[in-house]
Chains A and B, each alone.
Chain A
Amino acid sequence: MQTSTEAEENLRIIRSLMEKATIYRAISAPAALLGGVLAIAVAATAWWLSGLSVTGAKVPFLVSWLAVLAITSGANLWLLWRDAVRRGEPFASQGMRLALRAMMPALLAGGFCTLIATDGGWPLIASLWVLLYGVSLLAASHFAPKSLCWLGRVFFLCGSLLLVLGIWVADSWRGTDQTTLAHLIMGATFGLFHLIYAACTWPRNTGGAA
């Protein structure tokens, strides 16, 4: 005979499965791989050029990273669209809308932080981008797969450490090339972490939420 306890248990199962079904992977593994490779390539090029000591031979910080963002975001959107078509879902699914709503405030805050950048302030901006990107991923953690939650935690932790470290060592690093330093921060965080994320999620990407 059906009891209210059984009914409650069945409703719990239904709720839990519906939540699982709305888990949304906002970053696909191939897009993370592309972004990681591009980020490391830009950082490596900037480092290499800084060693040449040729006047004017510098990788512009803002332009190059906005280009990496545009290329990676474009690729990510295309891959998400293709995945949605494969599953017979609309591209702007409920999961995507939830993810965008949760992530957007921190991402916009990162964009606004860029406006305060002055010449030589790029390491601070890079650190803030790392921190706020982590916050944006953590904001979507209720309906994100575990791997994205971990990526958010790592970015948040690293961004916080970079900001603290920046305050402590700012004086001793005053003589160093600030733009190259910022490129290296971006390459070591956005580049390396996305490569690790892509490697961890790639084999399981076609199945459930990893």
Chain B
Amino acid sequence: MFDFEKIDKIIHEKGRLGIMTLLATRPSWSFQDLKAQLELSDGNLVTHLRTLHDNGYVAITKEILDRPQTSYALTAKGRQSFQEYLTILEQIVKAARQ
């Protein structure tokens, strides 16, 4: 029997899962690009990013180019947690098929 308690509850939410997935595809994402891809409201996106940041999964970089821009990236801990989360999902699917 699979131990469902192993699932990372921080990642296991649709909005945060989307953020973690996108952050895993590129070195960094701007707030606007994340918002455009995920179609989340500013408030929702900020809340999810803050949760991920508070848990050490996401690093935030603020810089001023031609205008102030905030970019987000996965930390080493975040990347490892995401990989573990994926492994657990695959194990669940495999267990159900056997």
Q: Is B86 an interface residue (CB 8 A)?
A: yes
> Residue-by-residue, is B19-58 near A (CB-CB < 8 Å gives 1, otherwise 0)?
0011011111110110011100000000000000000000
- Say yes or no: B96 contacts A89, CB within 8 Å: no
Interface residue tally of chain A, by bracket? 20 to 34
- Say yes or no: A7 contacts B32, CB within 8 Å: no
Contact among B25, B71, B86, B93 for A22, CB-based, below 8 A: B25
Q: Is A66 an interface residue (CB 8 A)?
A: no
Q: Is B59 an interface residue (CB 8 A)?
A: no
Considering the complex, which residues of chain A in the window 1-30 have a beta carbon less than 8 Å from any beta carbon of chain B?
1-4, 7-8, 10-11, 13-14, 17-18, 20-22
Chain B residues in 8 Å Cβ range of A87: 26, 28-30, 33
Q: Is A208 an interface residue (CB 8 A)?
A: yes
- Say yes or no: B18 contacts A13, CB within 8 Å: yes
Chain A residues in 8 Å Cβ range of B89: 7, 10-11
- Say yes or no: A11 contacts B93, CB within 8 Å: yes
Residues of chain B at interface, number, CB under 8 A: 29
Chain A residues in 8 Å Cβ range of B14: 13
- Say yes or no: B93 contacts A4, CB within 8 Å: yes
B4: nearest chain-A partner, CB-CB: A2
Chain B residues in 8 Å Cβ range of A4: 92-93, 95-97
- Given contacts A20-B37, A21-B37, A207-B32, whether A88 and B26 have CB atoms under 8 Å apart is yes
The CA-CA distance from A3 to B27 in the complex, in Å, is 32
The CA-CA distance from A20 to B22 in the complex, in Å, is 9
- Say yes or no: A21 contacts B22, CB within 8 Å: yes
- Given contacts A4-B93, A11-B93, A20-B37, whether A89 and B17 have CB atoms under 8 Å apart is no
Q: Is B7 an interface residue (CB 8 A)?
A: yes
The CA-CA distance from A1 to B96 in the complex, in Å, is 14
User: Distance in Å from the Cβ of B98 to the closest Cβ of chain A?
Assistant: 10
Q: Is B84 an interface residue (CB 8 A)?
A: no
Chain B residues in 8 Å Cβ range of A18: 21, 24-25
User: Distance in Å from the Cβ of A81 to the closest Cβ of chain B?
Assistant: 16
- Given contacts A7-B92, A208-B36, whether A21 and B18 have CB atoms under 8 Å apart is no
Contact among A2, A3, A14, A88 for B17, CB-based, below 8 A: A14
* A–B Cβ pairs within 8 angstroms, 22 of them: A3-B92, A3-B96, A4-B92, A4-B93, A4-B95, A7-B96, A8-B93, A10-B12, A10-B89, A14-B17, A14-B21, A17-B18, A18-B21, A18-B24, A21-B22, A21-B26, A22-B25, A87-B26, A88-B71, A207-B32, A207-B33, A208-B36
Lowest 5 CB-CB distances: which A-B pairs, in order?
A4-B96, A208-B36, A7-B92, A21-B25, A17-B21
Q: Which A positions have Cβ atoms within 8 angstroms of B?
A: 1-4, 7-8, 10-11, 13-14, 17-18, 20-22, 87-89, 206-208
